[in-house]
Amino acid sequence: MRSLALASPLLALALALPGCGPAYVRGSENPELDEYAMSTGLDKKDLEKLFDENADSLMKSGAVRRWKDMAREGKDAKIAIFRVKNETSEHIDSQLQALLSKFETRLVNSGDVTVISREQQDTLIEELRKQQGAAFDPNNSAQLGRQLGAQYFLTGKVYDSAEKTGDERRTQYFLFMQVIEVETGVVRWQNEANLTKGLVN
C-alpha cells in the first residue's frame, strides 16, 4: 500500500511530462482565440477597445462638426495622420500603426475630411530630413503639417505604468490622442483611453 502511495504521484509526474503537440487553428473556428491575453502587449481586442473609445469621442467632437460645416460651405478640410509615439515598456509600434490605420479608415470613409496619404507623409519627412539635416526635428508636427498642406493633424502618445512584483507583472496603458489645428496650434480634440494588461499567478 505504501508503494502504491509512492507510485501515484510518480505516475502523475510521468503522465504530466510529455505534453500534447501544438496545432494551428483559425479564429473563426475557435472564437475564444481572440478572447484571452497572451502577453502584456496590445492585441486585437485591446486595439479595438482603444480605437472604439477614441473614434467615438472624435466623431462626436466639435472638430468633426467644424469639418462638416466646412464641407457644407464647399471647403475641404485636410488632415494628416502622424505617428503615435510609443513611450511604454513594450514593443508595440506595429500595433500602434494598426491603430492609426483604423483611424485613417474611419476618417476616409466618414467623408467629413480629406485625409493625406501616410505614404506621402513618409516621403516628405525623409525629404525634409535630408534638406534640413541637424535642424530637422521630426517632433515638430506643425512644421510637417504645413509642408503637407494639412490644416489639421491627428497625433498621440501612449504611456505606461509598468510594475513587476514577486507574483505579478502589470502594465497600465494610457493613450492620449489629439487633433491640432496646424495654423494656430489650438487643440481641437483630445481624448484619453486606458487599459491594463497583466501576468498574474
Q: Does 131 bind another protein (CB under 8 A)?
A: no
| Cβ–Cβ under 8 Å, residues 194 and 167 | no
C-beta closer to another protein: residue 23 or 35: 23
Q: Does 36 bind another protein (CB under 8 A)?
A: no
**Which residues from 44-103 bind another protein, rule CB under 8 A?**
85-91, 93
| Cβ–Cβ under 8 Å, residues 142 and 70 | no
| Cβ–Cβ under 8 Å, residues 182 and 60 | no
- Give one DSSP letter per residue of 103-168, joined into a string: HHHHHHHH-SSEEPPHHHHHHHHHHHHHHHGGG--TT-HHHHHHHHT-SEEEEEEEEEEEEEETTE
The one segment of 59-67, 72-80, 106-114, 133-141 that binds another protein by CB under 8 A: 133-141
Window 156-175: contact mask with another protein (x via CB under 8 A): ------xxxxxxxx------
Q: Does 10 bind another protein (CB under 8 A)?
A: yes
Q: Provide the minimum distance between the beta carbon of 199 and another protein in the complex, in angstroms, as a whole number.
A: 6
